[in-house]
Structure 1
Amino acid sequence: MLDPLDPAFARDPYPYYASLRSRGPAARVRLANGTHAWLITGYEQTRAVLADPRFSNVPAQHAGRRKADSPAQRARACLAQHMLNSDAPEHTRLRRLTAAAFSPRRVDAMGRRIEELSTQLLAGLAKRLKEDGTTDLVDELAFPLPVLVIGEVLGVPESDRNDLRDWTYRVGSPTDAFEQGVVDDAWIRLRDYFTALIADKRRFPGDDLFSVLIHDATDGGLDDDELLAMAFLLLFAGYETTMSLLASASLLMLTHPQELAAAISHPERWPAVVEETLRHASPLEGATWRRATEDVNLEGGLTIPAGSSVLTVLAAANRDPDHFPDPDVFRPDRHMPGSPGLRARPHMAFGHGPHFCVGSRLARLEALIALPRLFAAFPGLRLAADPADLPYRPGLLVRSPRLVPVTTE
């Protein structure tokens, strides 16, 4: 049985995935909620499923445990109608409306602003360390930087961003992780917040992406329900994965001092550090759930029956030993050109196929700006806790340490 709420599993799910992979690249497992699903753990099979239109992203009606009608359930259903839960041609239309905002030119133009925000946050980090002697990198950097960046992209007021962080954290975790009603309350608050934000942008449009989406008539534009869902998706995806990337990369650097010293001495290594973090500690543990619309034969003669729930486990595919030598070892060298004995293979931290993460370039840019500045500003930075004791976020969607406590020598 797979129990995503188990703290030991959340901290280190890789032995479980390796055990599944030893039985084959896909396995049918029983989930803690009593349902069954197919988990895809092989690299090639993950790529195949993510690109195969026979695996639909549209959730089946009444999938999982049936929930009674309620205001929270209606809010959840409305916000869940985003493009990750759609197939072509609807997905193609929705993605086209947002892709221009994340073009290489626009993303790269945000570099200077990301530098300014990083400098401000690191000043706050220095103050906290001086006053308290210790602080948490998640609260001081990994969360605020991406939420400030995506908040500016979307036009979300800075004063609202902590509430949005709390609400999206709740809805992105298993319901059983909280007391009854906590997750339902978050869905309602998110729906109500974005409803008010849409009304405000209609009256007072700005130059932010959300204002553009609200007033854009291209391809018929977005109706109110689509706008609500798009706002939720862009906010959630816009900072959750980057927050996880920054938290995991910081932790890996602090627990691999030789790699940190090499990156500080040779700044050209930072892109390899970021790519290896994405592979080794995939911010997205699994892609969105899919459903087989017909019997599908995977490589090796395995058949996924029609109607099956399917989860491609990106974290497992990125540690497939058939594609990544020493997959459990953090080795940025594997992404450096000309590294002997290592095969540089593309990881799937941002997915694959038509649902490949539209914000991947922005996430990389934030990490490439923030991480070198963090360790240059605090050369004596070290962990203030045993890494084995750090709590991790539960669930199968986003994976990262919930806190990275640090101090200075």
Structure 2
Amino acid sequence: MPAHLDPADPGFARDPYPYYARLREQGPAARVALANGSHAWLVTGYEQARAVLSDARFSNVPPRGAGRPKPDSPAERARGCLARHMLNTDAPDHVRLRRLTTAAFTPRRVDALRPRIERLTDGLVAELSGRLARERTADLVDAFAFPLPVLVIGEVLGVPEADRADLREWTYRVGSPADALERGAVDEAWSSLHAYFTALIGHKRRSPGDDLFSTLVHDAAEGGLDDGELLAMAFLLLFAGYETTMNLLASASLQLLTHPRELAAARRGGPERWAAVVEETLRHGSPLEGTTWRRTTERVDLGGGAVIPAEASVLVVLAAANRDPAHFPDPDAFRPDRHLAATGRAAPHLAFGHGPHFCLGSRLARLEAAIALPRLFEALPDLTLAADPLELPYRPGLLVRGPRRLPVR
């Protein structure tokens, strides 16, 4: 085990699972020294992860002084404002904030997006096919896995398509360890996001549409949200709305390209088999590596020798819990058939969390993947990787995980 955990390390980002397996051998949760000089408890056991995510003794309000001390600055104030989103709150504030957005993600509204997702997918696949014909290679992340979810969530929220490249860069920075980027890059991104959403909300006040941001702005005028909560909600919904689905599409594509038998089985098996591919990717390559940080409000005994003191920083590592061998036989193998009804189905994974903070967009993410993956591989049956899969760069950090680039030919 290394002396400390460095989430910015490219080797760890590419394959953190051996580290998590060794950590799990010490118990279901362990205290770890982080590269930023702080310490945290990482929860790696499946049962313990579920317990923590539904236990009110683990507060979602960030602990004071977490991480490196940061001097006051415009960028730090912007970060503090945008971090006031509902994932960093407890009841009753969390219940109030979640209720304001639930209506946009009901099964009926999500399922109604199917025709639009199908059209967007077909258009992106056609563009990708043309690029491959012209240039022989393309990046599947840039050409497919990123634009589809950002276009979909952009329509739901009311974010202009022309802004997507800037938003991707800014959200990438704020979701990454500062040590993985150039000095000042994270601060610049927080300031840019704050300014962008301030301007967007101003535009929605002047010219509202039928999108979720316009609804939230109206609710704010009626006393539903204060200005800071409105900014934070805008940031969260955009970040969560495309980042995880982008990583799901990229990781699923990578697994299918490196497991030709599973790809052939999906092509033969129809919707049920494609759904199993999606569920196994969510388990095997969790797009959310970890939850948001929690802190203990009192001493908590998780069992197995893991006793966490009060006021401790705690991270539930979803990627580790989803590979707990006590619940998933042969956990490091990519086996979609474990999710088929005929095989008895695996235990439910934790890719979307558990408890009161369970991901609102889980149905939308699954729908996008279930539509996009078969259309991609049916239209491009000879698609192959154009790089060594063991050398692909991955997203650094402990929050989200997926390949940054996926060259194909």
TM-score of the pair, normalised by structure 1 = 0.98
Q: Which deviates more from structure 2 when the two are superposed, residues 59-68 or residues 283-292?
A: 59-68
Deviation, structure 1 residue 5: 1.2
Q: Distance in 1 between matches of 2:132 and 2:385?
A: 13
Aligned with residue 184 of structure 1, among 183, 187, 192: 187
1:282-325 alpha-carbon deviations (Å, 9 max, x no partner): 00000000000100111234311001100000000000000001
Q: Distance in 1 between matches of 2:220 and 2:231?
A: 16
Whether the 8 Å CA contact 2:141–2:250 is kept in 1: the answer is yes
Who is 1:289 aligned against? 293
Deviation, structure 1 residue 218: 9.9
- 1:11 and 2:17 matched: no
* Over 6 Å off, 4+ runs: none
Whether the 8 Å CA contact 1:287–1:314 is kept in 2: the answer is yes
1:162-220 alpha-carbon deviations (Å, 9 max, x no partner): 11011000111011111111111110010000000011100100000000111126983
Q: Percent of aligned positions with the same letter in both sequences?
A: 74
Q: Distance in 1 between matches of 2:327 and 2:222?
A: 41
Q: Distance in 2 between matches of 1:128 and 1:343?
A: 39
Who is 2:310 aligned against? 306
Who is 1:149 aligned against? 152
SS of residue matched to 1:330: coil
1:119-140 alpha-carbon deviations (Å, 9 max, x no partner): 1111110111011000011001
Who is 1:215 aligned against? 218
Deviation, structure 1 residue 222: 1.0
Amino acid at match of 1:324: F
- 1:244 and 2:256 matched: no
Q: Distance in 2 between matches of 1:309 and 1:233?
A: 21
Q: Distance in 1 between matches of 2:304 and 2:25?
A: 13
Q: How many residues align?
A: 405
Who is 2:346 aligned against? 344
Q: CA RMSD in A?
A: 1.1
Amino acid at match of 1:201: K
Q: Distance in 1 between matches of 2:249 and 2:390?
A: 18
Amino acid at match of 2:356: P
Deviation, structure 1 residue 378: 0.4
- 1:111 and 2:114 matched: yes
Whether the 8 Å CA contact 2:27–2:305 is kept in 1: the answer is no
SS of residue matched to 1:291: strand
Whether the 8 Å CA contact 2:248–2:287 is kept in 1: the answer is yes
- 1:15-94 residue pairs with structure 2 within 5 A? 15-94=18-97
Aligned with residue 321 of structure 1, among 319, 325, 328: 325
Q: Distance in 1 between matches of 2:338 and 2:107?
A: 25
Aligned with residue 366 of structure 1, among 362, 365, 368: 368
Structure 1: any 5+ residue segments left out of the alignment? Answer: none
TM-score of the pair, normalised by structure 2 = 0.98
Amino acid at match of 2:190: W
Structure 2: any 5+ residue segments left out of the alignment? Answer: none
Q: Distance in 2 between matches of 1:205 and 1:115?
A: 27
Q: Distance in 2 between matches of 1:58 and 1:52?
A: 14
1:211-234 alpha-carbon deviations (Å, 9 max, x no partner): 011112698311111110000000
Amino acid at match of 1:148: L
Amino acid at match of 1:16: Y
- 1:379-398 residue pairs with structure 2 within 5 A? 379-398=381-400
Whether the 8 Å CA contact 1:78–1:229 is kept in 2: the answer is yes
Q: Distance in 2 between matches of 1:239 and 1:137?
A: 15
Amino acid at match of 1:46: A
Deviation, structure 1 residue 266: 1.4
SS of residue matched to 1:382: coil
Whether the 8 Å CA contact 1:97–1:218 is kept in 2: the answer is no
Whether the 8 Å CA contact 2:63–2:294 is kept in 1: the answer is no
Q: Distance in 2 between matches of 1:177 and 1:70?
A: 21
